[in-house]
A and B are shown apart, each in its own frame.
Chain A
Amino acid sequence: ETGVTQTPRHLVMGMTNKKSLKCEQHLGHNAMYWYKQSAKKPLELMFVYNFKEQTENNSVPSRFSPECPNSSHLFLHLHTLQPEDSALYLCASSQDRSGSYEQYFGPGTRLTVT
C-alpha cells in the first residue's frame, strides 16, 4: 500500500446509525487532516492532528468525533448524522503541521445519509 488509503469508499447510513471512517497513511507523515467536500463548495477543513494531538477543530458538530491513535491512522466516528452531512470525506497527511502546504489526499469516502 502506498500513499493515503481510506475505507470504506462508499457508505450509506441512516440518521440513527453509528459508523466510522478509517484513514491510513504510508508516507511517514506526522500530521493528518479530515476535510469535507460538498458539491460547488470549497474543501472544508474539519480536524487537524499533529503528532497524534488534535490541534484544530473548525467548529464541527459533535456528531463527528475524530480519533488519532498514532501518526499513521485517523478515524472519523459518525453518529446521528443529518442528510446535509452527505458529502465526500477526504483524509490528507503532510510531513507535519508546519509543512502543511504539501498535503497528500486519500481517495475519500462518499457518505450518503438517508
Chain B
Amino acid sequence: QKEVEQDPGPLSVPEGAIVSLNCTYSNSAFQYFMWYRQYSRKGPELLMYTYSSGNKEDGRFTAQVDKSSKYISLFIRDSQPSDSATYLCAMWANSKLTFGKGITLSVRP
C-alpha cells in the first residue's frame, strides 16, 4: 500500500459546483497535511496546511482532516474556471513531505 493515495482523475465540473478532492494515507506518523495547487507550466503553490484532525477554512477553500480514518479532503465552494489546475495533497512527518500523484481539475464556464 502506498503511503499516500490520491485519485488521479481527471475531474471536470461546471462553474459554481462544489468540488471535493480526497486523499488517503497509511502512515499514522503524519502530523501536517497540505494541499498544493499547480497550474500548467508552474510550480506547486501551497494553498493550505492543517495540523491534526479538524477543519480549516480560507475563503472558498476548506481543508478537512480525519486522522482516525486516515483521510483528508479539500472542498472548493463556488468553483471558478480559474480553479482549473492540478491539486496535490502532501503529508509531513519526520521532516519529510510525501506527496500524492495529484488530480487535475477542470472547471467548465
- Interface of A toward B, CB cutoff 8 Å: 4, 6, 40-43, 45, 90, 92, 97-98, 100-108, 110
**CB-based A-B contact count at 8 angstroms:** 49
- Interface of B toward A, CB cutoff 8 Å: 4, 8, 31-32, 34, 36, 41-46, 49, 88, 92, 95-102
Asked if B43 and A90 sit within 8 Å, CB to CB, the answer is yes
CB distance from B44 to the nearest CB of A (A): 5
With A40-B101, A41-B101, A42-B101: A105-B43 Cβ-Cβ less than 8 Å: yes
A-chain residues with CB within 8 Å of residue B98 when the two chains form the complex = 42
CB distance from A114 to the nearest CB of B (A): 20
With A41-B101, A42-B4, A42-B100: A102-B46 Cβ-Cβ less than 8 Å: yes
B-chain residues with CB within 8 Å of residue A108 when the two chains form the complex = 42-43
